[in-house]
Amino acid sequence: MIKSLTFSEYISQKVLKISTPMQKSLYIVLISLLGSILLAIASKINFNLPFTPIPFTMQTFAVLFLSMLLGKKVLYVLGLYIFEGILGLPVFSKGAGILYLLGPTGGYIFGFLVAGYICGTLAQQGFDKNFIKAFFAMILGNIIVYFCGALWLLRFMNFDIYKTISLGILPFIIGDIIKIVFASFALSFSWKKIKI
């Protein structure tokens, strides 16, 4: 398939007129910093469900939306975000550090990387420009996050698959679908506004 401009690339090339290697590098650094800040803020928009160790957050929404905006460059954002957390910066929903990543929610965070790569790749193939395609891409990304998260969570649930799915996936499905519908609409609407 022919590579399509992501929204971020459109802004950098057509609006900001970024062309030199130095400008491109600075742009990547800037979007990585801003993206990691957005992810940190999204992680703090959370609430605990009394029956599960997994909090409801806006992280997945931010990861999927950024993936569709940035393409595979989202990996710079996600890598920086995880690195910040490992260093002890309070960017995760309920803590920081390597031990936090080894806890019950660690699989979801590492799942962000896989989902970001897949959704970013699809965005670079034009999936971000159409509501249905964007919705499909982000649903796929969300399933990947669920899978990675649940796979890791299994050991905290004594390898009980039913309990893992009941506590680590099912409570979040409706909320995640609503967020994905909103993100898909925002993407397709934005592209229509710039007539691409």
Pick the CATH number of 7-193 from 3.30.1490.190, 1.10.1760.20, 3.40.50.2300, 3.40.50.720: 1.10.1760.20
Residue range 72-84: average pLDDT?
Answer: 96
Taking a C-beta distance cutoff of 8 angstroms, is the pair 118, 144 a contact? yes
Contacts of residue 109, defined as CB under 8 A and 6 or more positions apart, other chains included, come to 82, 85, 92, 101
At residue 113, does pLDDT exceed 90? yes
What's phi and psi for 58, nearest 5 deg?
-100, 10
The model's confidence at residue 144, banded by pLDDT at 50, 70 and 90, is very high
> Whole-prediction pTM value?
0.91
Read off the pLDDT of residues 145-179 as tens digits, 9 standing for 90 and up: 999 999 999 999 999 999 999 999 999 999 999 99
- Cα separation, 108 vs 148, whole angstroms: 6
Task: Tell me what pLDDT residue 195 has.
Answer: 65
Taking a C-beta distance cutoff of 8 angstroms, is the pair 71, 8 a contact? yes
Taking a C-beta distance cutoff of 8 angstroms, is the pair 107, 149 a contact? yes
Q: CA angle 63-65-67, nearest 5°? A: 65
